[in-house]
Amino acid sequence: MCSALRWLKWAAALLTCAAAQAGAAPASPPLEVVVKAAYLAKFAPFVVWPQGVFASPNAPLVLCVQGDDPFDGMLDRLTEGQSVGAHPVIVRRLPKLDPDSGCQIAYLAGSPAQSPAAALKAVEGQPVLTVTDAEEAGGKGIVNLVLVGGRVRFVIDVEKAGQSQLGISSKLLALAVGVKR
């Protein structure tokens, strides 16, 4: 056997492997995204909504993803069977956000139809915990996810939360890398 060919085969195999890995990347999202999804699912217990937000004691708590959902169904899996108090958590995807969307938490991913900034504007003053991603351009929500030292953290805007009549648990504030008052 020709050794040169053997080397080629090796190289080809390696390349194939690398290609396969590169191709698999979109199928399983990066760790950062997974963490963000997990965070989104975990904010709810630390937030208090004003009275009247829920139609009934066991009305669902709606977690909306505005725009292009980057989580690829992860949120549904993470929130499956989860409830906050007596409210089961459900996930809803919306291209556009408006005051009547019925969301309690809204992740503003943005889309051509509505930028995160526009979405923010749309629910300004509404009792909606807006979560934005600092990676995305546009305005900042009540919770703004940031990357610090390669780790996902968040900044909380207490002033905005107050304007939206939302109570944020001090425990959550304690965990935030920054609190805007």
Partner 1 sequence: MSGPRDPARRRIAVLWIGALVLVLASVGLAIREEALHRAVIVQQAVAQTDVLAGSVGAALSFNDADAMRQYLGALTRNPQVAAAAIYGADGRQLAVLARPGAAAPAMLDTAETQRVAGRVIVARPVTQQGQALGWVYIETTPEGRSAFIARHTGLVILTLLALLLLSFVTGSAARLTVANARLSEEIEARAAAEEALRQSQKLEALGQLTGGIAHDFNNLLQAIHGAFELILGKAGEEKTVRRWARNGLEAADRGASLTRQLLAFSRQQKLEMKPLVVAETIQRMRDMLTRTLGPRIELMLDLDAERIPVVSDVTQLEVAVMNLAVNARDAMPEGGRLTIRTRKINLAGDAVMADGPYLQLQVIDTGEGMPPHVARRAFDPFFTTKAVGKGTGLGLAQVYGVARQAGGDARIASSPNGGTTVTLLLHEASGLEAANEDATPARALTAGARARVLLVDDDEAVRRVVRGGLELRGFKVIDADSGEVALAKAAERPEIAVIDYAMPGMDGAQTAEQLRQLMPQLPIILASGHPDTASIERALGGQAIVLRKPFDIGELSETMSRMLATGT
> Looking at beta carbons only, is 117 or 134 nearer to partner 1?
134
Query: At closest approach, how far in Å is the CB of 124 from partner 1?
Result: 26
Dihedral of CA atoms 98, 122, 162, 60 in degrees, nearest 10, equals: 20
Under rule CB under 8 A, residue 167 binds partner 1: no
Residue with tokens 């139809």: 113
Q: Could you give the dihedral angle defined by the CA atoms of residues 152, 157, 162 and 168, in that order, rounded to the nearest 10 degrees?
A: 30
How big is the site for partner 1, counted in residues (CB under 8 A)? 15
Shortest Cβ distance from residue 153 to partner 1 (Å)?
Answer: 9
CB-neighbour burial class of residue 152 (10 A; exposed 0-12, middle 13-18, buried 19+): middle
Residue (18 or 175) nearer to partner 1, CB: 175
Q: Does 179 bind partner 1 (CB under 8 A)?
A: no
**Tokens 């648990």 map to which residue?**
169
Among 40, 44, 75, 108, binds partner 1 (CB under 8 A): 44
Q: Nearest Cα to 179, choosing from 143, 150, 152?
A: 143
Residue 42 touching partner 1 (CB under 8 A):
yes
Task: Please give the Cα distance from 181 to 87 (Å, whole number).
Answer: 29
Nearest distance in Å: CB 151, partner 1: 9
List binders of partner 1 among 50-109 (CB under 8 A): 82-86
Given the rule CB under 8 A, which residues bind partner 1? 39, 42, 44-46, 82-86, 169, 171-172, 174-175
